Amino acid sequence: MLKVLIVGAGGFIGSACRYMLSGWVHKILDSASFPYGTLAVNIGGCFFIGFLGGLSDTRQVFAPETRLFLFIGVLGGFTTFSSFGYETFALARDGEIFAALSNIFLQMVLCLSAVYLGNITSKIL
């Protein structure tokens, strides 16, 4: 139960940061035609998970609870795209090229298809 609370606390922080950063970028760029705020969040989240993952891999600087809080909680709440990016990178780094490419393909095709199907379903019901 403690792990769930650690992840939940981090998720709260990450989600609040995502909301603030995305809104700030959208306001600064004043563009309704492209989701620059979401793009900024995804790029930032991917940078931070890459940086923290590198520290964790090479220096073992995070306790398991800290890793839960930062990686799954804060960055997971900030953007799940960072997890996708890091997991795909880790697969490629470890020589699992087919798995990395499969992850990219399946995430993009299946997730975009799920959005489409969800949207269609909402119009039927």
Q: Are residues 11 and 59 in the same domain?
A: yes
Q: Are residues 74 and 102 in the same domain?
A: no
Residues 30 and 78 in one domain: yes
Residues 73 and 108 in one domain: no
55-113 tens-digit pLDDT: 888 888 899 999 999 999 999 999 888 889 989 999 999 999 999 999 999 999 998 99
Average confidence (pLDDT) over 4-14: 97
Phi, psi of 101, rounded to the nearest 5 degrees: -65, -40
Distance CA 62, CA 23 (A): 31
Element (H, E) at 117: helix 97-124
Claim to verify: residue 75 and residue 19 sit in the same structural domain: yes
- Number of domains forming the structure of the chain: 2
DSSP 92-111: HHTT-HHHHHHHHHHHHHHH
**Residue 119: per-residue pLDDT:** 86
Tokens found for residue 110 = 């299946």
> Is residue 32 pLDDT above 90, yes or no?
no
Domain span at residue 106 reads: 97-125
